Amino acid sequence: MENIKRREAIRRTAWIMGGVLSTPTIAGILNGCTPKPELTWTPSFFTEDQARLVMEISETIIPKTDTAGAKEIGVPGFIEEMVSIVWDEDRRKEFTDGLMKFNEECKTETGDDFVALDAIKKKEFCQKKDAEAKAAPWGQKPVFWSLKELTIVGYYTSEYGATEELQYIAIPVEQHGCQPLSETGNGKTWATS
């Protein structure tokens, strides 16, 4: 993987061409496949490969549509913080091992690293993993279950998720027990209960 001569060559070429290629992009070209996606944050716990994987899975779970996706809201960084700071060591290891396994399974099935797949294939693979995770008994949930949970939590506890995607009122003032949904603010789900 590490081919310093080639790396240097590409960097030089990029410079000659007047373009600026980021390190991950260079690494992608070096690996002989489509460029790896650029990280949206600087990971402090995940390796760059793990970080890219987490980023691409979370964006597949909550993609950019006419509204922001997980990446744009900083969900991958949130996931790293939860795994590295909040979780205990056993769970942390389970997670990073699970990520590797996830990618291995992806390679076996599609012949490619997950991050190298196009958006449609990413979604297909994740849908499969989602079904497996739902079917798995408690205590034996695969890493996708945690990724989905962390992505959803990170997204909908963010200011954007709570106030743009859902509805949130810091101080409701009044309580009404039973009223038409159409008359309940903008009719969306409350962000907090």
Partner 1 sequence: MNINNKAKAQNTYDAIVVGTGISGGWAAKELTEKGLKTLVLDRGRNVEHVKDYPTMNLNPWELPHDDQVPAEERKDYEKQLRTGYTIRESTKHWWIKDSEHPYSETKRFDWIRGYHVGGRSIMWGRQSYRLSDLDFEANAKDGIAVDWPIRYKDLEPWYEYAEKWIGVSGRKEGLAHLPDGSFLPPMELNCLEEHVRDSISQNFEDRLLTIGRTANITVNHNGRAHCHYRNLCMRGCPFGGYFSSQSSTLPAAMATGNMTLRPHSIVTEVMYDPETKKATGVRVQDAETGEVQEFYSKIVFLNASAIASTYILLNSKSEYHPNGMGNQSGELGRNLMDHHFKAGAEGDYDGFEDMYYHGRRPNGIYIPRFRNINEKHPDFIRGYGYQGGASRQEWRSAIAELGIGEELKEDIKTPGKWRMGLMGFGEMLPYHENKMEINPDKLDKHGLPTITFDCEFKDNELAMRKDMQASAAEMLEKAGLKNVRTYDNIGGPGLGIHEMGTARMGRDPKSSVLNGNNQVHEVQNVFVTDGAAMTSSACQNPSLTYMALTARAADFAVNELKKGNL
| One of 42, 108, 140, 193 touching partner 1 (CB under 8 A) | 193
Residue with tokens 């101080």: 171
Round to whole Å and give the CA distance between 10 and 77: 30
Give the residue with the Cβ less far from partner 1, 49 or 149: 149
User: Residue 177, interface with partner 1 (CB under 8 A)?
Assistant: yes
Round to whole Å and give the CA distance between 47 and 43: 7
Nearest residue to 80 via CA among 100, 96, 98, 103: 96
Binding flags for partner 1, 2-41, as an x/- string (CB under 8 A): ----------------------------------------
Residue with tokens 């310093």: 4
Please, which residues have CB within 8 angstroms of residue 94's CB and are 6 or more apart in sequence? 143
User: Residue 81, interface with partner 1 (CB under 8 A)?
Assistant: yes
Residue with tokens 């992806």: 106
| One of 40, 123, 132, 142 touching partner 1 (CB under 8 A) | 123
User: Residue 108, interface with partner 1 (CB under 8 A)?
Assistant: no
CA distances from 74 to 25, 33, 112, 159, 188 (A): 21, 26, 26, 11, 23
User: Residue 135, interface with partner 1 (CB under 8 A)?
Assistant: no
Please, which residues have CB within 8 angstroms of residue 136's CB and are 6 or more apart in sequence? 142, 145
User: Residue 145, interface with partner 1 (CB under 8 A)?
Assistant: yes
| One of 6, 11, 33, 172 touching partner 1 (CB under 8 A) | 172
The one-letter amino acid code at 176 reads H
- With contacts defined by CB under 8 A, name the span among 18-26, 43-51, 58-66, 93-101 that binds partner 1: 58-66
Residues in touch with partner 1 (CB under 8 A): 60-63, 65, 67, 78, 81-82, 85-89, 123, 126-127, 130, 134, 145, 148-149, 152-154, 156-159, 162, 165-166, 168, 170-182, 184-185, 187-193
